[in-house]
Amino acid sequence: MRYLIIRNIRAAGFFLIVVVFLFSFSMVQPVHSHGGKTHGEETFTALQAVQKATQLYDRLIVSGKLPEVWETKLKNIAVSIRNTDNKREYVVRFEITQGDPSSVYFFFDIDGAYSGSNFTGK
C-alpha cells in the first residue's frame, strides 16, 4: 500500500511537470512564431528589392554590360524609398570604389516590378 501511494505521488509529480512544461511552451511559442511577412503592410520589402537588384546586377556583369571592376571593386549596397509624382519606389544603389560612373541604380515599384536602372539615380 505504501508503495502504491509513493508511485502515485511520483506519477502526479511527473504529470504536473509535463503540464507546466506544455503550458509554458504554449505561452512562449507565439512569441517566437512569425506569421505573415508583412503584418498587413506592403507586400514587397526592401530586402526583396535588394535581392532582385542583385540578380539584375549579376546579369549585367556576366553579360559584360558592366565591366569586371563592378564585381571586384564593389564598396557599398544601399536601399532607399523615394516618392516622386505620386509614385513610391525602392531604389537600390551599388557603389564601387573607383571608376566613373561610381554608382548604378535599380528601381522597383512598391509591388516589386522593375521600373528601370541608370547611373544617375534620377
**Number of structural domains the chain divides into:** 2
Query: Do residues 44 and 110 lie in contact, with contact meaning Cβ atoms separated by under 8 Å?
Result: yes
Domain shared by 13 and 58, yes or no = no
64 and 21, same structural domain? no
What is the predicted pLDDT for the residue at 16? Answer: 47
Residue 38 lies inside a defined structural domain of this protein: no
Quick one: which H or E segment has residue 88?
strand 87-96
Judge whether 106 and 58 are in contact, CB under 8 Å: no
| One domain, residues 102 and 53 | yes
7 three-state secondary structure: helix
Per-residue pLDDT of 78-95, as tens digits, reads 999 998 878 889 999 999
Residue 40 counted as domain residue: no
pTM over 0.75: no
Q: Are both 26 and 68 inside the same structural domain?
A: no
- At residue 15, the pLDDT reads 53
